Amino acid sequence: MAIETELVEFGGGDEVRFERMGLAGVITLTRPQALNAVSHRMIKAMTRALTHWRHDKSVAAVVIKGEGRAFSAGGDLMAIHTSRENPPVDFFADEYRLNALIEGYPKPYVALIDGIVMGGGVGVSCHGSHRIMTENAVFAMPEVGIGFFPDVGASHLLPDLADNYGLYLGLTGTRVKWGDALFSGLATHGVKAENLTPLLESIAMTGEPEASLRNFFFMARRETEREKLAAIDRWFSQPSLEDLFGALEADAPNNELAAATLATMREKSPTSLAVAFREIVAGQTMSMADCVKMEYRIVNRMLRGHDFYEGIRSVLIDKGDKPKWRPAAHGAVTPQEVDSYFREPPGGELTL
């Protein structure tokens, strides 16, 4: 039976497409040439769509997917860099509101993650009720490597992962495939890429993602061995960032993973690591609403700083050039400096 499909206009232009497909509202990110990087226009359009569909009784579920080889590789960093003189605080405010809207959405919100999902892409997918990854999925929160911090509700998402795995991902930017994503709780279901279209059609026909998934769910194997996961848990359970570095340094001479993890973290912005450690640990006992409000405080301070723009320069502009962090030494970031990232911003708190 053919499924009735119609385009719906919410102001996304050629960057994001909205369709009514049977009982489903379908969002498709349509910037494949930019790996579906999330723009302010897309954020506003998705917010309008979700607000409308929340009250539309004929929409039983929302499905989001991306065109091309990425679900979404993050936010539009070049746009942020070019607006340095007038920091795009409104972009982040609207993005965080959208993340909170998704996390508390009253209808099933199904993310079909086929390809790269990072940064801003995580914010519009991994807070949904159904987080479906394929064999092509690659998850990462690499922000500390560009002088930023895990945002888009990551302070709510990462602490929920078992055995301090979320803190590990946030402080190293490690890439994760579907097996580790499933076992850690990042993903709720694995589905082979060839089955995404029939899965979407089933959801559109029935309006019941859970029932539809029974026909397509695939249990992928975990990629990381138990011994390594136990070691990660031991290192990242330390009460401070200083103690975490100490634990890695103690094991590095005789443990390849400890040595590799230590080398990776030493490349990251010292400020970003210090802020991210405090942020993720704090998020363990906070609601999503309080987490994005905390992240809004942090981003206001980051946008007035040095390392974020330096990170974008080194990665995207002068590609491959080693970033010059300020301060450059791990341990040089004072507690007072970290405190400054968690104070109320000049323009006031984020309102939801």
At 171-196, the pLDDT tens digits run 999 999 999 999 999 999 999 999 99
Which pLDDT score is estimated for 1? 61
Domain membership of residue 41 (yes or no) is: yes
Report yes or no on 100 lying in a domain: yes
Residue 53 lies in a domain: yes
Residue 2: pLDDT above 80?
A: no
- Whether 21 is covered by a domain: the verdict is yes
SS3 126: coil
Catalytic (active site) residue 75: yes
CATH label of the domain that carries residue 80: 3.90.226.10
Residue 54 lies in a domain: yes
Beta carbons of 130 and 104 less than 8 angstroms apart:
no
- Does residue 329 fall inside a structural domain? no
Residue 87 has pLDDT above 70, yes or no: yes
Residue 334: pLDDT over 90: yes
| pTM for the whole structure | 0.97
Is 151 labeled as catalytic in the residue annotation? yes
Looking at 120, 121, 145, 147, which residue is catalytic? 120
Annotated active-site residue in 151, 295, 307, 310: 151
Q: Write down the catalytic residue from 95, 143, 295, 310.
A: 143
Instruction: Note whether residue 77 is domain-resident.
Output: yes
Active site residue 290: no
For residue 101, pLDDT over 80 is answered with: yes
Categorize the per-residue pLDDT at 117 as very low, low, confident or very high, splitting at 50, 70 and 90.
very high
Question: The domain containing residue 55 runs over which residues?
Answer: 5-140+178-213
Q: How does the average pLDDT of the chain come out, rounded?
A: 96
pLDDT digits (tens, 9 = 90+) for 191-217: 999 999 999 999 999 999 999 999 999
| Structural domains of the chain, count | 1
How far is residue 166's CA from residue 156's CA, in Å, rounded to a whole number? 10
Does residue 298 belong to any structural domain of this protein? no
Which helix (H) or strand (E) segment holds residue 99: the answer is helix 89-103
Average pLDDT of the residues in 274-292: 98
Q: Give kind and range of the element (H or E) at residue 17.
A: strand 16-21
CA 106 → CA 49, 51, 102, 185, 330, distances in Å? Answer: 14, 11, 9, 21, 43
**Is 120 among the catalytic positions?**
yes
